[in-house]
A = this chain, B = another copy of it.
Amino acid sequence: MKELKQITVLGMGLLGGSITLAVLRSLPKVKAVGYSHRPVTRRKARQLAVATEIANDIKQSVSEADLVILATPISAFDQVFCQIRDSLPAGCIVTDVGSTKVLPHRWAAKRLPKGVYYVGSHPIAGSEQRGVGFARADLFDQAVCVLTTTQKTNRLAAEALKKFWSQLGCSVKLTGPAEHDRVLGNISHLPHIVAAALINANNDQTLKFAGKGFMDTTRVASGPVNIWTDIFLGNTKNTAGGIDKVIAQLEKLKKAITAGDKKQIEKLLEKARLSRARLVKYKMKRKESLL
């Protein structure tokens, strides 16, 4: 693999801006180029100095990149691959930060030329905020980043990308795209569904009694609607399967509560409490962020 001299991030939102900021902080010798198709975003990104350079032209922005990172909404990936394919230098690594991975792998295989190495990335970081104005150099500190590879993936490219995310502060895990979408459907996409359902089950009058527990439980539902719609549409089967699993668990709890079955309620709550305690311990051991 080439030495990393330039990375280019396509899409200057919360994630894209945070990647270039994190590169400026952690890899000061690397040129961090950002691009957005919206002039107003480019202007804002320049004002905030989130990158070494904000490019006006997408093709030009990638022409000297050793690593190109797509940070647009997932629904734009296929089009972006088409736009950049002829401008990518040989040996370049291409990745994306989409929250689903099966479709990006499929699009990359179809669109990207030989001699360019695609690996999927999913840094599980971000917040319910959106836009480059919320970009932070420390967004990836202690975050989990899942890399997705297939049998066709260049191992050296995957290694280089693993090193890159580690240098940005991530705890990196590797898996396949289908496995990623199955697991993340349950652990990441499902909480968003559940949070939205919990809010929509209440009206403005009952919401006024919300305490910290409710605010925490529903925080993710303040996230950007278009991004999350893309995610659910890109992972329909797993998300629907996850919803079924949660409903089954809710029915189990409801049955125990309706029956006044103290032992069964305690059993189910204790199971959840212990699972979460093991998870907290696991994350602390790996120095992954809990907040």
Q: Flag if A197 contacts B250 (CB, 8 Å).
A: yes
Q: Flag if A276 contacts B229 (CB, 8 Å).
A: no
**A231–chain B nearest beta-carbon distance, Å:** 10
Which residues of chain A from 246 to 260 have any CB-CB distance to chain B below 8 Å in the complex? 246-254, 257-258, 260
Q: A198-B194, A219-B217, A291-B212 are in contact. Are A275 and B207 (CB under 8 A)?
A: yes
A268 interface contact, C-beta 8 A: yes
Which residues of chain A from 214 to 263 have any CB-CB distance to chain B below 8 Å in the complex? 214-223, 225-226, 228-229, 232-233, 236, 239-240, 242-254, 257-258, 260, 262
Rounded to whole angstroms, the CA-CA distance of A200 and B202 in the bound complex is: 23
Chain B residues within an 8 Å CB radius of A240 = 254, 257-258
Rounded to whole angstroms, the CA-CA distance of A144 and B127 in the bound complex is: 25
Q: Flag if B277 contacts A228 (CB, 8 Å).
A: no
Residue ID in chain B nearest A205 by CB atoms: B183
**A90–chain B nearest beta-carbon distance, Å:** 34
Residue ID in chain B nearest A243 by CB atoms: B254
**A98–chain B nearest beta-carbon distance, Å:** 14
Rounded to whole angstroms, the CA-CA distance of A239 and B257 in the bound complex is: 8
**A277–chain B nearest beta-carbon distance, Å:** 7
Chain B residues within an 8 Å CB radius of A233 = 257, 260, 262, 265
B199, B213, B270, B278: the one within 8 Å of A225 (CB) = B270
Chain B residues within an 8 Å CB radius of A276 = 199, 218, 221-222
Residues of A at the B interface (CB closer than 8 Å) are 124-125, 127, 143-144, 146, 173, 183-184, 186-188, 190-202, 204-223, 225-226, 228-229, 232-233, 236, 239-240, 242-254, 257-258, 260, 262, 265-266, 268-273, 275-280, 282-283, 289-291
Q: A196-B268, A206-B183, A213-B188 are in contact. Are A253 and B257 (CB under 8 A)?
A: no
Rounded to whole angstroms, the CA-CA distance of A242 and B144 in the bound complex is: 33
**A107–chain B nearest beta-carbon distance, Å:** 17
Q: A239-B257, A243-B253, A249-B201 are in contact. Are A212 and B124 (CB under 8 A)?
A: yes
**A177–chain B nearest beta-carbon distance, Å:** 14
Q: Flag if B209 contacts A191 (CB, 8 Å).
A: no
Q: Which 4 A-B pairs have the closest CB atoms?
A: A124-B211, A197-B249, A196-B272, A201-B245
Given contacts A200-B249, A215-B279, 5 further A-B contacts (CB under 8 A): A184-B209, A212-B290, A225-B273, A233-B257, A247-B247
**A205–chain B nearest beta-carbon distance, Å:** 8
Q: Flag if A216 contacts B220 (CB, 8 Å).
A: yes
**A260–chain B nearest beta-carbon distance, Å:** 6
Q: Flag if A188 contacts B204 (CB, 8 Å).
A: no
Residue ID in chain B nearest A220 by CB atoms: B213
Q: Flag if B223 contacts A273 (CB, 8 Å).
A: yes
Rounded to whole angstroms, the CA-CA distance of A64 and B257 in the bound complex is: 40
